[in-house]
Structure 1
Amino acid sequence: MKLIHIKRETKTEQRHTTKMGSLQTKVTYIKKYFLGFPVKTLHKYRETYYGEVKSCEDCMLFI
């Protein structure tokens, strides 16, 4: 059993941008785990409709 490992997980979230408004997109999280518990999110990004990969910092979570 590894002590530290990195895992990639994709979720569907409702996001809001100023240019496009509300959109539902797949967000991929890359997390570091220690003994099976998540410790830190290393990076999160989303893929646009056209296939571009963008950081999630330019859009906010829509609740």
Structure 2
Amino acid sequence: MKIIKVKRITKQEKYYSSAMGILNSKVTYIKKYVLGFPTKTLYKYRETYYGEVKDCEDCNLFI
């Protein structure tokens, strides 16, 4: 059993874009796990309406 593991998880989430309004997009989280428990989100990115990959800090996410 590994002590430290890094996983990538993709979810559908709503986000708000000032140019296009509310949209659904796939958001990918890269998380660090220690002994099977998530400890830290290393990176979060999404695919835009046009197919580009952007950092999620460029948009407002609804949770």
Q: TM-score, normalised by structure 2?
A: 0.92
Q: Specify the alignment match of 2:61 in structure 1.
A: 61
Task: Establish whether residue 17 from structure 1 lines up as the match of residue 17 from structure 2.
Answer: yes
Identity across matched positions, percent? 70
Detail structure 1 runs of 4+ shifted over 4 Å in the superposition: none
User: Structure 1 stretches of 5 or more lacking a match?
Assistant: none
Give how far 1:49 is off.
2.7
- Number of residues paired by the alignment? 63
Match of 2:29 in 1: 29
Per-residue CA deviation, residues 7-58 of structure 1 (Å, 9 max, x unaligned), is: 0000000100111110000000000000000000000000123321000001
> Runs of 5+ in structure 2 lacking a partner?
none
Give the superposed CA RMSD.
Answer: 1.0
Distance 1:62 1:44 in 2: 14
Partners of 1:60 and 1:49 lie apart in 2 by: 15
For residues 16 and 51 of structure 1, what CA distance do their matches in structure 2 show?
16
| Equivalent position SS for 1:9 | strand
